[in-house]
Amino acid sequence: MSVQQRVIIDGLSVPIEGERNLLELVRKAGIDLPTFCYHSELSVYGACRMCVVEIDKMGIVASCTIQPQPGMVVRTNTEQLRAIRRTILELLLANHDRDCTTCSKNGACRLQELARRFGVRDVRFGEEDLSLPLDHSTPALVRDPNKCILCGDCVRVCGEVQKIGVLDFSYRGSEAMVGPAFGKNLADVDCVQCGQCASVCPTGAITIHSDIDRVWKAIHDPNIKVVAQVAPAIRVALGEEFGHEPGWAEPGKVVAALRSIGVDMVFDTCFTADLTVVEETAEFLDRLSSGSRERLPQFTSCCPAWVKYVEQYHPEYLPNLSSCKSPQQMFGAVARRFLSSELGIEPESLYVVSVMPCTAKKFEASRTEFAADGRPDVDAVLTTQELARMIRETGVDFDKLPIAPFDLPLGVSTGAGMIFGNSGGVAEAVLRAAAELLAPEKKPGIRGTQLVFEEVRGLEGVKEATVSIAGNEVRMAVVSSLGAAAEVLRKIESGEAVYDIVEVMSCPGGCIGGAGQPSPSHLEVRKERTKALYDVDTMQMLRRSHDNPYVKALYDRYLGDVGGEAAHSALHTSYGTRRRIAGEDIRFSAEEIDGRLDVGVCVGTCCYLHGSYDLLRGLMDRVSQHGLTGKVDLHATFCFENCGHSPNIEIAGNVRSNVTVEEIDKVFQEEILARLVE
- Which residues are identified as catalytic? 280, 283, 302, 322, 361, 364, 369, 511
Among 172-180, 503-511, 555-563, 650-658, the segment contacting other proteins (CB under 8 A)? 172-180
3-state DSSP helix/strand/coil % of the chain, to nearest 5: 40, 15, 40
Q: For other proteins, give the closer residue by CB, 67 or 658.
A: 67
182 binds other proteins (CB under 8 A): no
For residue 262, which amino acid is it?
Answer: G
Q: For other proteins, give the closer residue by CB, 66 or 418.
A: 66
Q: Which 8-state DSSP code applies to residue 339?
A: I
CB of 23 to other proteins, least distance (A): 12
Pick one of 58, 83, 372, 539: the residue that binds other proteins (CB under 8 A).
83
Q: Site residues for other proteins, window 273-312 (CB under 8 A)?
A: none
Q: Which residues pair with 15 in a beta bridge?
A: 6
Q: For other proteins, give the closer residue by CB, 47 or 224.
A: 47
CB of 198 to other proteins, least distance (A): 21
Which H or E element spans position 141?
strand 141-143
Q: Site residues for other proteins, window 136-165 (CB under 8 A)?
A: 149-150, 152
From the list 618, 505, 518, the residue with the least C-alpha distance to 198 is 518
CB of 633 to other proteins, least distance (A): 27
CB of 630 to other proteins, least distance (A): 28
Q: For other proteins, give the closer residue by CB, 114 or 672.
A: 114
95 binds other proteins (CB under 8 A): yes
Burial class (CB in 10 A: 0-12, 13-18, 19+), 124: exposed
Q: For other proteins, give the closer residue by CB, 165 or 315.
A: 165
Task: Compute the distance between CA of residue 137 and CA of residue 542 in angstroms, rounded to an integer.
Answer: 43
Q: For other proteins, give the closer residue by CB, 83 or 403.
A: 83
Mapped onto helix, strand or coil, the DSSP state of residue 490 is helix
Distances in whole angstroms, Cα of residue 36 to Cα of each of 66, 113, 165, 175: 17, 11, 20, 20
Which H or E element spans position 328?
helix 327-334
Q: Which residues pair with 299 in a beta bridge?
A: 321, 502
CB of 512 to other proteins, least distance (A): 33
15 binds other proteins (CB under 8 A): no
Q: Which 8-state DSSP code applies to residue 582?
A: -
Q: Is the dihedral of CA 231, 273, 572, 460 positive or negative?
A: positive
Pick one of 176, 408, 593, 652: the residue that binds other proteins (CB under 8 A).
176
Q: Site residues for other proteins, window 590-609 (CB under 8 A)?
A: none
Q: For other proteins, give the closer residue by CB, 69 or 669.
A: 69
For 517: left if phi > 0, alpha if psi spans -120 to 50, otherwise beta; the answer is beta
Task: Compute the distance between CA of residue 320 and CA of residue 376 in angstroms, rounded to an integer.
Answer: 26
CB of 36 to other proteins, least distance (A): 8
Pick one of 49, 75, 259, 337: the residue that binds other proteins (CB under 8 A).
49
Q: Site residues for other proteins, window 121-140 (CB under 8 A)?
A: 124-126
Pick one of 44, 55, 404, 673: the residue that binds other proteins (CB under 8 A).
44
CB of 174 to other proteins, least distance (A): 4
Q: Site residues for other proteins, window 466-525 (CB under 8 A)?
A: none
From the list 269, 202, 207, 160, the residue with the least C-alpha distance to 511 is 269
CB of 27 to other proteins, least distance (A): 18
CB of 67 to other proteins, least distance (A): 7
Task: Compute the distance between CA of residue 209 and CA of residue 142 in angstroms, rounded to an integer.
Answer: 5
Among 43-51, 213-221, 249-257, 370-378, the segment contacting other proteins (CB under 8 A)? 43-51
- Total residues contacting other proteins by CB under 8 A comes to 36
Q: Site residues for other proteins, window 313-372 (CB under 8 A)?
A: none
Pick one of 40, 77, 174, 394: the residue that binds other proteins (CB under 8 A).
174
- The strand order across the sheet containing 59-62 reads 12-15, 6-9, 73-75, 52-55, 59-62
Pick one of 57, 121, 172, 400: the residue that binds other proteins (CB under 8 A).
172
From the list 273, 231, 194, the residue with the least C-alpha distance to 571 is 273
- Angle between helix axes 79-94 and 110-117 (nearest 10 degrees) is 140
Q: Is the dihedral of CA 597, 603, 607, 610 positive or negative?
A: positive
Task: Compute the distance between CA of residue 259 and CA of residue 547 in angstroms, rounded to an integer.
Answer: 28
CB of 92 to other proteins, least distance (A): 6
Q: For other proteins, give the closer residue by CB, 92 or 619.
A: 92
Q: Site residues for other proteins, window 53-82 (CB under 8 A)?
A: 60, 62, 64-67, 80
In SS3 terms, 201-239 reads as CCCCCEEECCCHHHHHHHHHCCCCEEEEEECHHHHHCHH
Q: Which residues 6+ apart lie within 8 Å of 431 measured at CB?
A: 450, 453, 456, 467, 469, 474, 476
Among 48-56, 247-255, 289-297, 662-670, the segment contacting other proteins (CB under 8 A)? 48-56
Pick one of 26, 92, 189, 599: the residue that binds other proteins (CB under 8 A).
92
Burial class (CB in 10 A: 0-12, 13-18, 19+), 156: buried
Q: For other proteins, give the closer residue by CB, 152 or 647.
A: 152
Q: For other proteins, give the closer residue by CB, 88 or 649.
A: 88
Pick one of 8, 31, 42, 46: the residue that binds other proteins (CB under 8 A).
46
Binding residues vs other proteins (CB under 8 A): 44-49, 52, 60, 62, 64-67, 80, 83-84, 87-88, 91-92, 94-95, 124-126, 149-150, 152, 168-169, 171-176
